[in-house]
Amino acid sequence: MNISGSTRLVCLLGSPVAHSISPAMHNASFQYHDLDYAYLAFDVGEEKLASVVEALKEMNVRGFNLTMPDKNKMCTLCDRLSPAAEISGSVNTVLNENGVLTGYTTDGIGYMKACEDAGFHIIGKKMTLFGAGGAATAILVQAALDGVREISLFTRDPKREHTLKIVSSLRERTNCTIRLFSYEDEEILRRELADSQILTNGTNLGMAPYEEGCILPDASFLHKDLIVSDIIYNPRKTRLLQMAEETGCPHFNGLYMLLYQGAEAFKIWTGKEMPVELIKKKFFL
């Protein structure tokens, strides 16, 4: 990879970012297309985000990704928002066009493409989704926009204003039936899972170093026709996915969601397709 005086910068902002494989996969993709771009990661917390974004605009960077804890605040710093970003109140990808910042959320797109990649077709089906953070919200929004028939959303606080606003907006804009429930109501959870086709963990429960965490009390909540997915990819097989395997449920982790959300961001910045199969072989297998 050659750095020149005209190399365009793309970067990742968040905290922590040292573990991210985004720089590796984007730089490999730039090299594949012979593009004069470079991708770097910067540890930037929410309190410094506004000043860093202003500096990036001044340097005319092509764009940047955001990870926790910066996704929600970035919404307030953009000049324009994609429909999904506007509904979710979360931005993970920004395009800079001569100082005009357009915010996108590609997490939900990444999740839906990961489902397709795994051979699962969930349009017109019922989903049970856990979580109300940035990633879970992005999945909720994209699933509803793409045509998932019904979503049962389980959160810590079903009456949280931010979540209610998103659900209300989706009810107005889509034909998706969305119902809100509390994590704590196990009887309702069992009922909703019984006729769901896919269960999605959009929380960090089960992520290293807290691998014992799980959204379900035990495997009896699962049934063999239920697809089980987890946005976590460290560890690659969470306790939830272990339960799914033991029950005979088809399942997948968050690795390909990461890949495909990155591929969507790459296309936004460059207009080109990320060489997905190459990146899979190099970093994901």
- Residues with a catalytic annotation lie at 71
Q: How far apart are CA 262 and CA 213, in angstroms?
A: 27
CA atoms of 243 and 255, how far apart (whole Å): 19
Structural contact between residues 82 and 103, judged by C-beta atoms closer than 8 angstroms: yes
Q: How far apart are CA 97 and CA 45, in angstroms?
A: 24
Burial group, residue 90, by CB count within 10 angstroms (0-12, 13-18, 19+): buried
Q: Are 102 and 91 in contact (CB under 8 A)?
A: no
- Amino acid symbol at 219: A
119: its two tokens: 């051979």
